Amino acid sequence: MKSILLKDARIIDPSQGLDTKADLQIENGFITGISAGLQAQKNSEQYDLQGSVVAPGFIDMHVHLREPGYEHKATIATELHAAAAGGFVGVACMPNTNPAIDDTSIVRYIKERSLKVLDGLVDVYPIAAVTKNREGKQITEMAELSGAGVVAFSDDGSPVENAQIMRIALEYSKMFNKPIIQHAEEKTLTHGGVMNEGFISTILGLPGIPSIAEALMIQRDIMLTVYCGGRYHVAHLSTKIGLDLIREAKRNGLPVTCEVTPHHFTLQEEEVKSFDTNTKMHPPLRTQEDVDAMKEGLKDGTIDVIATDHAPHSYDEKEVEYLYAPFGIVGLETAIGLSISELVKPGILTLPQMIEKFTVNPRRILDLPHVMIKEGEKACLTIFNPDEEWTVDINQFKSKSKNTPFHGHKLSGKPVGIVNNNAIFIK
Amino acid sequence: MSLTSRHLLGLQGVPRDDIIKILDSAVSFKEVLDRPIKKVPTLQGKTIVNLFFESSTRTRISFELAQRRLSADIVNFAASTSSLSKGETFKDTARNIEAMKIDMVVVRHQSAGAPHFLSRIVEANVINAGDGRHEHPTQALLDIFTLREKFGMLEGKHVCIVGDILHSRVALSNIYGLLAMGARVSVCGPATMIPRGIEKLGIEVYYNIDDVLPQVDALNVLRIQLERQEGGLFPSLREYHQYFGITRERLEKADRPVTILHPGPINRDVELSADVADSEHSVILQQVLNGVAIRMAVLYLLSQVK
């Protein structure tokens, strides 16, 4: 029997319209008391949160754990520590492992491995491939995978290019109501590209990835969704024109959702001028107009979710010529800080709105159990201090890889810890 | 008499005064090339490595000759014979070579930004000999030097760069250098080979060579790379020649002599007809000679930067 007392918390639960200062008592993984002045029981662990926010547990619905297959970049163990340190109680992991997550044995492998990390503190929700070996040719055994507990389907890293395959996936997934997550990229327009196409790519002499490549794929997929149903989710949205299409689709009542990464609402393409390979990601950093549009989309609700596209790559893999570096950066441990610094402090989102995009909305899209901060409910909590100023230091990262352009950035808002599955992690 | 940077990574942002210093210095070095004994002791005891990760004949030879004329010790490294085929990274290769006490590195690489990356990981002076489709500063300097010899000054002269601007490292460096020297610059080529937003650099864009020809003082004709046709960016060499090839017939329509530059190697009768390449208005062979002088000047001046 485990007993935890969290003193002096600011409890924010947007699903109940709750924003209150109180203490929180947890027994055996369940919330047993919320009120001011709670006294610690004899055997309880007590934490003084000094006014930190306690929110329903955050989910990062776009994470690359790299295991199995790429353990030199990251392992399930290292990245779940990073998730806990970043304030996430759960991650949905993408299937571009080796072998890909395209059959139930890999799903079981990942789940089993995750249970051994931090006593199963962080939940792992595998996303299975849409197509076998992510080759875009034939859909996976989606029904069985769905039964084995995958939460969505995606060929992330690559788009589902073939329209007929996408149609089949959307139709087939209707039988078990799981979303298809698209890495939206019309590849015939992006071949060889390493950064956003435009004036900056011209003066840097780097091959470009035009914004329309994203929008064209979203456009096609929205038409497919209109025609044959299914639930469609756009991963790592980066362009204003793509956002406008999703806004229109939502206005028409379509089951279309999307996510944005912290780097796409924070950085723009000028960063690439440094030739720092930590500015190379897919989709690429776009223009300031796109960054502003991402913020607008978060504000008006077009963008449902903040997800990191956490993509560990080893130091040596990134320490190469720009053209040859792999795409992607780590994000788990900077997501809360960037979101508060870029969105909450400037007044684009309120804290409850930000929290919705980290927990309520991803849980709704992935059809995960709804989490509430309420007596009798399971204690599934993210704790963060929205006012703490700190400097990003890759040497403090728990992630096995340190590939981030944010090293040395000063941020406001820092994760403090998480509570989940009758366990607690406090930094 | 020293440059503001200890590397020559590109001409973007290089001050006009630095460009003039290099050009003036090259005048002196060119005289050396006319002497019976074409060698000065300027870089005696300095060691320079030529790191060529992409095949190159004339740029490599030109650098090598410049280095020999300055009495430097040189080491040549070509990717095809290198440890790269054994899987060594660019960084390891560079660091290993530097561990042998190298003073300067000349680098040619397929990836834009590779010289910039190199300048962060080695202590030596880094000279960009062409990085991807980004910059090729010594080529632009020798082009500008050649034009200055021809015209005396560049202010107000109109230079049009013709051909595949998108994949050209020569174009960008020329644009930066020529603008710094006060020239008027335009580019002309198939619309599929004009990179987006290039007009924002302060240059004009033409798709029809006959529109721009009557206005220009010089044409810098770029080599059309045959693999671009395979990429589908233009339909055929025949059509390219018809619409963008520089022929005597075309040049005769201009009311003044037009100086012809070409960074080489020439595809005769594709981008340039043979009679133009060999005509009195062609300065292509002067460019080659000036290339050695310019590279001597760059090597010397960078070696002086503390």
The pLDDT tens digits of the residues spanning A41-56 come to 888 899 999 999 999 9
**Whether residue A72 sits in one domain with residue A27:** no
Angle between helices A240-251 and A211-228 (to 10 degrees): 20
Residue B84 has pLDDT above 70, yes or no: no
A156 is catalytic: no
Residue A44 shares a structural domain with residue A134: no
Q: Which of these, A284, A294, A296, A287, lies nearest to A268 by C-alpha position?
A: A287
Alpha helices in A19-162 (DSSP H): 76-86, 104-115, 142-147
Other C-beta atoms lying within 10 Å of the C-beta of residue B152:
9
Q: How many domains does chain A have?
A: 2
| Among B53, B92, B119, B131, the residue to mutate for chain A (most A Cβ within 10 A) | B131
Q: Which of A203, A212, A274 to mutate to test the interface with B (most CBs of B within 10 A)?
A: A203
- Grouping H, G, I as helix, E, B as strand and the rest as coil, residue A74 is coil
Question: What's the gap in Å between the CA of A234 and the closest CA on chain B?
Answer: 27
A342/A414 same-domain check: no
Q: Report pLDDT for A44.
A: 87
Say if residue A113 is in the same domain as residue A139: yes
Q: Does the beta-carbon distance from B169 to A322 stay under 8 Å?
A: no
Contacting residues of B for A324, CB less than 8 Å apart: 111
CB–CB of A271/A315 below 8 Å? no
Establish if A204 touches chain B: CB-CB under 8 angstroms.
yes
Does B52 score more than 80 pLDDT?
yes
CB contact (8 A) between residue B200 and residue A199: yes
Does the beta-carbon distance from A206 to B112 stay under 8 Å? yes
CA distance B30 to chain A (A): 31
Catalytic residue among A13, A221, A290, A309: A309
State how far the Cα of B267 lies from the Cα of B224, in Å rounded to an integer. Answer: 7
Q: Would you tell me which residues 272-301 of chain B have a C-beta closer than 8 angstroms to some C-beta of chain A?
A: none
Say how many CB pairs under 8 Å bridge A and B.
62
Instruction: Please indicate whether, in this complex, the C-beta atoms of B200 and A198 are within 8 angstroms of each other.
Output: no
Same domain, A269 and A382: no
Q: Name the 3-class secondary structure at A50.
A: coil
pLDDT value of position B85? 59
Note whether B169 contacts A321, CB cutoff 8 Å: no
Residues of chain A where predicted confidence (pLDDT) is lower than 50: none
In terms of domains, do A185 and A305 share one?
yes
* Non-local CB neighbours of A297 within 8 Å, separated by 6+ positions: A237, A243, A246, A247, A260, A303
Q: Does B1 score more than 90 pLDDT?
A: no
**CB-closest option in B111, B117, B196 to A202:** B196
Asked whether the predicted pLDDT for residue B301 surpasses 70, the reply is yes
Residue in A202, A205, A208 closest to B169 by CB: A205
Is residue A91 a part of any domain in this protein?
yes
Taking contacts as CB-CB distances below 8 angstroms, the residues of chain A near B196 are: 197-199, 201-202, 208
Residue A155: how many other CB atoms lie within 10 Å: 30
Task: Give me the residue from A198, A316, A321 closest to B113, CB to CB.
Answer: A321
Write the single-letter amino acid at B219: L
Contacts of B198 in chain A (CB under 8 A): 199, 202
Provide, as residue numbers in chain B, all residues whose Cβ is less than 8 Å from the Cβ of A204. Answer: 112-113, 134
Could you tell me if A194 and A259 lie in one domain?
A: yes
The strand pair at A45-48 and B125-131 is best described as unpaired
Enter the ipTM.
0.93
Which residues 139-198 of chain B have a CB within 8 Å of chain A? 169, 172, 195-198
Report whether pLDDT(B230) > 80.
no
> What is the CATH number for A229?
3.20.20.140
pLDDT for A223-234, tens place per residue? 999 999 999 999
> Given B90, B117, B135, which is nearest A205 (Cβ)?
B135
Band the pLDDT of B4: cuts 50, 70, 90. very high
How far does the CA of residue B293 sit from the closest CA of chain A (Å)?
Answer: 27
Domain that holds residue A120: 58-365
Tell if the CB–CB gap between A206 and B132 is shorter than 8 Å: yes
Residue A316 and residue B89: Cβ atoms within 8 Å?
A: yes
Query: In this complex, which of A201, A205, A320 lies closest to B90 when CB atoms are compared?
Result: A320
Provide the chain A residues 312-371 that lie in CB contact (below 8 A) with chain B: 316, 319-324
Does A370 fall in a domain? Answer: no
pLDDT at B80 over 70: no
Same domain, A253 and A304: yes
Judge whether B84 is closer than 8 Å to chain A, CB to CB: no
**pLDDT value at residue B253:** 84
pLDDT higher than threshold 80 for residue B73: yes
State whether residue A390 sits within 8 Å of chain B by CB. Answer: no
> Are residues A95 and A219 part of one domain?
yes
Contact check, Cβ <8 Å, A199/B197 = yes
The span from the CA of B288 to the CA of B263, in Å, is 8
Residue A176 lies in a domain: yes
**Tell me, what's the pLDDT at B274?**
92
Tokens standing for A205? 């002499």
- The answer to whether residues A236 and A150 belong to one domain is yes
- Cβ pair A205:B200 closer than 8 A: no
Chain A interface mutation, best of B89, B192, B194, highest count of A Cβ atoms under 10 Å:
B89
How many Å apart are CA A246 and CA A295, to the nearest integer?
Answer: 14
Residue from the list A202, A208, A322 with its beta carbon closest to the beta carbon of B113: A322
Give the residue from chain B lying closest to A199, CA to CA.
B197
Looking at the structure, do residues A268 and A393 belong to the same domain, yes or no? no
Structural domain includes residue A156: yes
Q: Do A275 and B116 touch (CB under 8 A)?
A: yes
Asked whether the beta carbons of residue A198 and residue B134 sit closer than 8 angstroms, the reply is: no
Q: Is residue A371 part of a domain?
A: no
Q: Is B131 on the interface with A (CB under 8 A)?
A: yes
Instruction: Give B102→chain A minimum CA distance, Å.
Output: 21
CB contact under 8 A, A208 and B196: yes
Find the residue in B nearest to A325 (Cα): B111
Question: Using 50, 70 and 90 to split pLDDT, how confident is the model at B254?
Answer: confident
Enter the pTM of the model. 0.94
Residues 6+ apart with CB under 8 A from B96: B83, B88
Position A245 in a domain: yes
Query: What is the CA B129 to chain-centroid distance, rounded?
Result: 8
Cα distance between residue A28 and residue A403, in whole Å: 38
Residues of A in contact with B134 (CB under 8 A): 204-206
Nearest-by-Cβ selection for B197 from A202, A275, A321: A202
Nearest-CA distance from A74 to chain B in Å?
21
The distance of A277 to chain B (nearest Cα, Å) reads 10
Q: Does B264 touch chain A (CB under 8 A)?
A: no
pLDDT given at position B182: 98
- State residue A285's pLDDT score: 98
Extract the tokens encoding B288: 């080659």
A285 and A384 share a domain? no
Residues 6+ apart with CB under 8 A from A309: A62, A63, A64, A235, A236, A261, A281, A328, A329, A331
A322/B109 CB distance under 8 A = no
pLDDT greater than 90 at residue B222: yes
Domain final residue pick, A313, A346, A365: A365
- Residue B86: per-residue pLDDT: 63
Mutate to test the interface with A, among B12, B117, B165 (most CBs of A within 10 A): B117
Residue A21 lies in a domain: yes
- What is the Cα–Cα distance from A190 to A425, expressed in whole angstroms? 42
pLDDT at A48: 96
> Beta strands A3-13 and A53-56: pairing type?
parallel
Is A309 inside a domain boundary?
A: yes
